[in-house]
Amino acid sequence: MRQKSLIYFLLAIIIIALAIGSCKHEIPIIPTDSTTTSGDSSTVCDPTKIYFQQQVLPILVSNCAQSGCHDNASHKEGVILTSYNSTMSTGGVRPGYPGNSRLYRNITNGEMPPAGNPKLTTDQKNLIYNWILQGAENLVCQNACGDTVNITFSLSVKPIITNKCQGWHIGTNPQGGIDLSTYTTVKAQVTNGKLWGSVNHDAGFSAMPKYGNKLSPCELTQIHKWILQGAPNN
């Protein structure tokens, strides 16, 4: 009897051992997200997302947050467009509903920027539309830009200047007397060293873009490589 009990005991141990050995202990996979949210940054940006800090804010600051309009001092009609918080609290933005957002309506019906100032391009309007449609989030991605290998003025440098600088530096009375509306005028600022000094926030230069974040590392790379190439009109 004692021998049978011992056999049963050994069989039970073997069965338990086999059961434990058959279990798969997988290492949990922690999901990673290449996109970024407020206050964060990533080396990889999601091309389907609109990053407010790098893409939307510079357009608003450059074209709308000027003296006499929607900067911190003037706050025309109570609207301030110099930061995410002020844009959301005063700009009449309804996340998910561009057509019902005063900000988008005003830039599409011609009220903003005001008469005498260049209107936003179709691409700029579409970008703001999609930002609101995606929920008007305060997303950040420090490397939100394109190709850093095949650099040209028309496809690499000009879009940066148009979206982030040109609103201040165009028209009959550009900020600081600096006009950035054409290749010739941009090249002049390259020659005198002011373009790179400003975008790189070097000491002694007026930091650009105004109010907004410094250009992303890859945007600075694009401009720097173009300058090193001789700043060609390509």
Give the model confidence (pLDDT) of 74-97 as tens digits: 788 899 988 899 999 999 999 999
Which amino acid is it at 53?
A: Q
Predicted confidence band of residue 211 (pLDDT cuts 50, 70, 90): low
Give the model confidence (pLDDT) of 3-42 as tens digits: 555 555 555 555 554 444 443 333 222 222 333 344 444 4
Q: How far apart are CA 4 and CA 68, in angstroms?
A: 98
* 101 has a pLDDT exceeding 70: yes
* 118 has a pLDDT exceeding 90: no
Per the prediction, the chain carries an average pLDDT of 77
Decide: 180 and 189 in contact? Cβ < 8 Å: yes
Closest CA to 42 of 134, 142, 164: 142
Give the model confidence (pLDDT) of 163-197 as tens digits: 777 666 665 666 666 777 789 988 998 899 988 99
